[in-house]
Structure 1
């Protein structure tokens, strides 16, 4: 078989994704301090992205080394499951951030832990169901005209996934708008109580809003092209367009640990400790959300 350069790029991307997110999963799993709801959600996101990276590597291996329709369906099912869990995980983190601001006094309670586990079960349960569809027979191997831009996914299957993405994006947009309002209101109240200058209040508010804009903008720029093309394209669409929209979507799993994990100060402390060779089972700092 002749190597497709795009498949090589996706395999390399999968390797980077796997390495990045494996670090996050190991750090969160082996650090007892990281049992707060926020870290559970970050760990779930990293696990989903890790599976996505492994899925890209396996897809390359099964296409060029062990060609098999069954293995191809299993790999596609793994990719659908992992990327769906990744996108859903971003929504779960957004919900957690919103609730931590709205219910600041009751956030550190047993109710929050229960709610977090419910979100994790819903996230992975829905994702696994989506991923099992191609393996269960909803694929286009015997009906090429029903294929989507991503073979062997059915056109209707990809439409459902694309519509689900738009629903998640709309929910995240609404929640982040609410978060911006809450942050602005809290900053203004603090400025009035402590007699801060308006300029310092404005700078802090703009910085917070800019951070939220980067998070939402990154998510949209990664997934919107593929979701739109998934709705408009079909089996006759040029493969080049599929790869041009699929690569940014997979890049989301490269950026997620940089945005949600490695920027967190407590995770940074553990990573620095690991780099210095002084890792211990109990960390001396208190976890924050």
Structure 2
């Protein structure tokens, strides 16, 4: 009877297991929408012991918000000045514009980060957390890589000596595209799987959902960028020094240099100092703003959760790094005579610009834009020196330009 009953029993349903990839994606999707993951990770790293994630904005947050607003306004003015002046529609200004855009976006994304931090952090889902942190990371990475792109362009210009405009424009767009592609790839790695969800032991304290291995990888990349910038500017300085010395001893190749041009060679030491000063400012500001954050992140990689109290002050270190986006436009664009003119005309057209389009004299030398014949000659000479200091001119161009100045 039992055998007969067993013969008519319904067969057990066949279970078809999901493919491993589909199961992983489904599990990842569920975890990315689970708010409790944020609480668990922040609690494990010890960041919930204080009142930071219970209170609203603090005074230091207000200060950083003001800095972000200044970054946005400052870089917007520079972008508008570049867009409205056709003389800036040149390849080299494309890189400066890209740097300005990345700094503007860095200020905006960090402002969003501040507003959604504190008590709002614990209300986020992991996917929103990754988008918040990834946005700041991508824009800051784009800013850093843009500095490297500018150094590469200046170095290539000095090495090739005679860049063609078409090739130079293509090279500019290639550098700009590469900077954003690399920054985007670095920024999306955590949300695509390189994170510590499911493995609390490998989590960063500064960024509790990021894996320490990812933090170490990114710091290594950025330190490599810094080293590359140092090497490129050192080579540029060496090339400019060599070219100016050849010009000072007679130009080489039996070329006779006019006596008035020889007088200019007496100022070559000043040119070296000018270039060295510019490079020192560029690298000094970059290192001063970013090195503290790099050191903090390396400390994060080495410390166990809750073992280093300084890691809970990471907002200050990131705020200092953001200041670099405030200073970049000043260093790379506002030190340009033409850019200063364009920005002054844009902001103070009614108070400083005369009816004939000149800038009123107000006792400041760099605001004097008179176009008399004598001043045009002096501006050409000064422009030559500035161009030499940035490493974007060849010895033959120096001779030709000085000849034009002397004829004037």
- TM band (smaller chain): 0.7 to 0.9
Maintained 8 Å contact 2:99/2:147: yes
Structure 1: gaps (5+ residues): 279-287
- Which position in structure 1 is the counterpart of 2:400? none
1:247 and 2:319 are equivalent in the alignment:
yes
Maintained 8 Å contact 2:247/2:265: no
**TM-score under structure 2 normalisation?**
0.63
**TM-score under structure 1 normalisation?**
0.87
Deviation at 1:214, TM superposition (A): 1.5
CA distance in 1, matches of 2:332, 2:287: 16
- Which position in structure 1 is the counterpart of 2:192? 136
- Which position in structure 1 is the counterpart of 2:276? 209
1:12 to 66, 69, 87: 66
Maintained 8 Å contact 1:77/1:133: no
Deviation at 1:21, TM superposition (A): 1.2
CA distance in 2, matches of 1:29, 1:147: 44
- Which position in structure 2 is the counterpart of 1:22? 76
Structure 2: gaps (5+ residues): 1-53, 251-260, 354-386, 393-408
1:96 to 149, 153, 157: 153
Maintained 8 Å contact 1:59/1:72: no
CA distance in 2, matches of 1:225, 1:17: 20
- Which position in structure 1 is the counterpart of 2:332? 260
Maintained 8 Å contact 2:244/2:265: no
- Which position in structure 2 is the counterpart of 1:282? none
Q: Encode CA deviations 1:42-69: one digit per residue, 9 max, x unaligned.
A: 1111111111101111112222585423
Maintained 8 Å contact 2:138/2:186: yes
Q: For 1:107-118, what aligned pairs fall within 5 Å after superposition?
A: 108-118=164-174
Deviation at 1:135, TM superposition (A): 2.9
- Secondary structure of 1:136 counterpart: coil
Larger RCO, structure (CA 8 Å, separation 6 or more): 1
Give the paired residue count.
279
Q: For 1:1-289, what aligned pairs fall within 5 Å after superposition?
A: 1-2=54-55, 3-63=57-117, 67-69=123-125, 70-106=127-163, 108-140=164-196, 143-148=199-204, 149-193=206-250, 194-196=261-263, 200-234=267-301, 235-236=305-306, 237-238=308-309, 239-274=311-346, 275-277=348-350
- Secondary structure of 2:191 counterpart: helix
Higher radius of gyration, 1 or 2 = 2
CA distance in 2, matches of 1:229, 1:64: 20
- Secondary structure of 1:195 counterpart: helix
Deviation at 1:142, TM superposition (A): 5.4
CA distance in 2, matches of 1:276, 1:197: 36
CA distance in 1, matches of 2:200, 2:247: 61
CA distance in 1, matches of 2:264, 2:162: 28
Moved more, 192-201 or 72-81: 192-201
CA distance in 1, matches of 2:61, 2:215: 20
Deviation at 1:27, TM superposition (A): 2.1
Q: Encode CA deviations 1:142-168: one digit per residue, 9 max, x unaligned.
A: 544433223433222221111011111
